[in-house]
Amino acid sequence: MSLWFGASGFFELTRNPVVWDITLKLGYPAHFIYILGIFKIVGSIIFLIPNRFNRIKEWIFAGMFFDITFAFLSKIVVLGLPSAIDALIAFIVLAVTYYAFNKIHCIDYTGNLSQD
């Protein structure tokens, strides 16, 4: 997820036409794309720091969930269902990554540390 979102953030900040043009076509303003790029890169870097900032990582997962959800719904409405397949794949990868993160850090579904 760090690689996926880090690359996406980099492409947003460098105005890569593949990412930039689609995001503008979806109706998002240019300043939003820059802000999104910054947050994606910062989140990707925090993800790569082992055994630290676990509470912030939970928030980053939430941000990624919202980003993917909005991308998926925006693509369906504006570009049609076939263009949203990448967002669906990203959601599946995010869900697996989040599950693994919680298993590794012994966090149960309530967010508390497990006694196991």
Q: Domain limits of the chain?
A: 2-104
CB contact set of 101 (below 8 Å; sequence gap of 6+): 57, 61, 107
> What is the pLDDT, as a whole number, of residue 29?
95
pLDDT, average across residues 53-82: 94
Q: In this model, does residue 112 exceed pLDDT 70?
A: no
Distance separating alpha carbons of residues 108 and 89, to the nearest angstrom: 25
Q: What is the pLDDT of residues 4-56, one digit of tens each?
A: 999 999 999 999 998 999 999 999 999 999 999 999 999 999 999 988 898 89
Q: What is the pTM of this model?
A: 0.83
Q: In this model, does residue 69 exceed pLDDT 70?
A: yes
% of the chain beyond a pLDDT of 90: 77
> What is the pLDDT, as a whole number, of residue 116?
43
Q: Is 113 helix (H, G, I), strand (E, B) or coil?
A: strand
pLDDT, average across residues 57-74: 95
Task: Provide the mean pLDDT of the chain.
Answer: 90
